[in-house]
Amino acid sequence: MIRLILFILLSSAIGFPTCGFTTPLVADLSQYRIEMDSGFNGTRIFLFGVRNDTGDVVVVIRGPEKDFILRKKEPFMGIWINQDRMKFFGVPDYYAVAVSKPLSDIEQDSLFRRLGIGQGTLISPPSNPDKISRFNEYSEAFFQHQQKRRLYTPSPIALTFMGETLFKTTIEFPDTIPPGNYTAEIYLIADGDVVGMQSTPIRVSKSGVDAFLYNYAHQSPVLYGITAIVLALSAGWFASRIFEKS
């Protein structure tokens, strides 16, 4: 951490006088790995950076892409039953955006759509205009669901500047995050164009007992099932022996 701050301070101090040579954007994370062991209850990552040019900074964190199916309950003979449904393919299961000012103030719809900045860009709408309202209904329901699990944020996270060049933000990762490969993308946007960009991978994986059990369950399911049975049998037998004695 000290090295990181030093690096930032140095690059900002040296960076400005020699403006033409420096990269427009430098950023770093407090960690590149999130390990989920049995004590895991969510975590946060600090992102620090320096801009050596004018422009707005936008940070995007994307989780692993998944395919989803949404179902809508409707009353059927007095009982609420899943009826209509819609599928969304290749949507990140985790998604967070951090910006220094509201996205609407930057106003670059086509650029945002191209870069996938903002929740609205994650699922492509149908080309048929008649289907738009149903699509909007389901995509809104999907965002609500992800927000409830704290995997999406209802509004962008605040990104604060310390002075003109130094910026920082904190990204929350709740206990419900799916394991997999994440990316942190940092953009410097000026006059409707990207003037600087950096992308950093973040690896989220289970570790310790949790990694062992998960891999065991998926790699040798038969043995895992037998282990589960033997554990339960011996625990039950052991308990009954204690009962008999007491």
Partner 1 sequence: MNIYLPIAEMSVNIFAILGLGAAAGMLSGMFGVGGGFLLTPLLIFLGVSPSVSVATSANQIIASSVSGFSSHWRRGNVDFKLGWFLLAGGVVGSTLGVALFRWLKQIGHVDLVISLSYVTFLGLIGGVMARESYHALRKNGHKPTSMLQWAFTDKLPYKIEFPRSKRTISMILPIGIGCFVGVMVSLMGIGGGFFLVPAMIYILGMPTVMVIGTSLFQIIFITANVTLLQAITTQTVDILLALLLLSGSVFGAQFGIRIGTKLPGEYLRAMLAALVLGIAIKLAIGLLAVPTEIYSVSQIDD
CA torsion 132→137→142→148, rounded to 10°?
150
Tokens encoding 83: 């009826």
Distances (CA, A) of 27 to 17, 47, 184, 211, 221: 19, 7, 10, 30, 43
How many residues interact with partner 1 (rule CB under 8 A)?
A: 61
Strand partners, 186: 59, 198
Tokens encoding 85: 């449904």
Does residue 80 belong to the site contacting partner 1 (CB under 8 A)?
Answer: yes
Q: What is the number of alpha carbons within 13 Å of residue 135 lying toward its C-beta?
A: 13
Does residue 162 belong to the site contacting partner 1 (CB under 8 A)?
Answer: no
CB-count exposure of residue 141 (10 Å: 0-12, 13-18, 19+): middle
Q: Rank residues 21 and 80 by Cβ distance to partner 1 and give the closer one.
A: 80
Binds partner 1 by CB under 8 A, chosen from 5, 42, 107, 114: 42
What is the C-alpha R_g of the chain? 24
Q: Shortest Cβ distance from residue 245 to partner 1 (Å)? A: 12
Binds partner 1 by CB under 8 A, chosen from 10, 81, 158, 162: 81
Does residue 152 belong to the site contacting partner 1 (CB under 8 A)?
Answer: no
Helical (H) or strand (E) element with 58: strand 56-62
What is the residue whose two structure tokens read 């995050």? 177
Binds partner 1 by CB under 8 A, chosen from 2, 67, 129, 133: 67
Q: Rank residues 141 and 197 by Cβ distance to partner 1 and give the closer one.
A: 141
**How crowded is residue 25: how many other Cβ atoms within 10 Å of its Cβ?**
21
Q: Which among 1-9, 14-22, 52-60, 228-236 is the span making contact with partner 1, rule CB under 8 A?
A: 228-236
**How crowded is residue 205: how many other Cβ atoms within 10 Å of its Cβ?**
14
Within 96-125, the residues that bind partner 1 by CB under 8 A are none
Q: Rank residues 195 and 211 by Cβ distance to partner 1 and give the closer one.
A: 211
Taking residues 165 to 204 in sequence order and writing x for each that binds partner 1 by CB under 8 A, - otherwise, the string is ----------xx-xx-------------------------
Q: Rank residues 114 and 145 by Cβ distance to partner 1 and give the closer one.
A: 145
Strand partners, 57: 188
Binding footprint of partner 1 on the chain (CB under 8 A): 36-42, 66-73, 78-82, 85, 87, 93, 138, 141-142, 144-146, 175-176, 178-179, 206, 209-211, 213-214, 217-218, 221-222, 224-229, 231-233, 235-237, 239-240, 242-244, 246
